[in-house]
Structure 1
Amino acid sequence: MSKQGHTILVVDDAPANIRLITSYLKNQYRVLAATSGESALQIIKKQNTDLVLLDINMPGMNGFETCERIKSTPESQSLPVILISSSVDEDSVKKSSTVGASYCLQKPLVGEDLLTNIENLLSNK
């Protein structure tokens, strides 16, 4: 499958962050966006999604809870999730692993690094 055939869901409560991440991805991937964990779960149910970029610090259902819900659903448990946050510490990394995330990356994201992580995960699908 070509890169263009992969769909990535970007989940962040800040529209500016969604726009920035989308600008890194839009030439290589189909990009969907959600501004909450709840809406992300609905999109995953309805759309064929290959990977989720998920902000940790969101109101309502945070990124850890959203990732846990994604991984506890048989239809989406194999879906790769990359958690992102402006403050990543050792506890965040441990909790990310516990809830089933593949990576925990710190904002601001560097486009090339993000693309490399995404390509690594999608090539293993």
Structure 2
Amino acid sequence: MKNKSRFLIVDDDDGDLTLMRNAIETAGFDADVYVAKNGEQGVEMVDDLKPVTVIVDTNMPGINGFETCSLMKSRDKVNIQVIICTGVVDAVDAGKARASGADGYCVKTSNYEALINEIKSMF
């Protein structure tokens, strides 16, 4: 029996966490979805969970999403796909996402279609 994939969502907003989790589950991914409320917690969880995909918000207290992505990607023990998902439409943020090592970038929408399309493009 094949193990389920693991997804980790890192976002400080409970509403966004719930909506993103529901979008992933509704899209039919065979995955367990975990959540972290900030970048520090997300970085700590990566080594233990070894998620396939991590979705990171940009604006969080403590370390922001770009720093979180850089820290996750710099770990030798993990091979993950990181998607920066933000509520702000900003070309500068897209550039920062690439510079931080992100594999994908999307803007949050009410149905999270862009996020689901970004995830599907990685599989």
Give the TM-score normalised by the residue count of structure 2: 0.88
Q: Which residue of the partner structure matches residue 23 of structure 1?
A: 22
Deviations 1:70-118 (A, max 9, x none): 1111122x31110011113111111110111012211225334322211
| Structure 1 unaligned residues grouped into runs of 5+ | none
**1:48 maps to what in 2?**
50
> Which letter maps to 1:51?
T
SS of aligned partner of 2:56: strand
- TM-score after normalising by structure 1: 0.87
Say what the alpha-carbon RMSD is for the aligned residues: 1.9
How far apart, CA to CA, are the structure 2 residues paired with 1:64 and 1:88? 15
Q: Partner letter of residue 97 of structure 2? A: S
TM superposition shift of 1:25: 1.3
Give percent identity, aligned residues only. 29
Q: How far apart in 2 are the matches of 1:91 and 1:75? A: 30
Distance 1:106 1:112, change over 3 A: closer
Unaligned runs of 5+ in 2: none
Change (3 A) 1:109 1:45: farther
Secondary structure of 1:84's aligned partner: strand
| Code of the aligned partner of 1:82 | I
DSSP-derived class of the 2:54 partner: strand
> Does the CA contact (< 8 Å) of 2:12 and 2:60 recur in 1?
yes
1:102-121 map, 5 Å: 102-108=103-109, 110-121=111-122
Q: 1:95 to 1:36 in 2, by over 3 A?
A: same
Structure 1: distance between partners of 2:77 and 2:110: 29
Does structure 1 retain, via aligned residues, the 8 Å contact 2:12–2:38?
yes
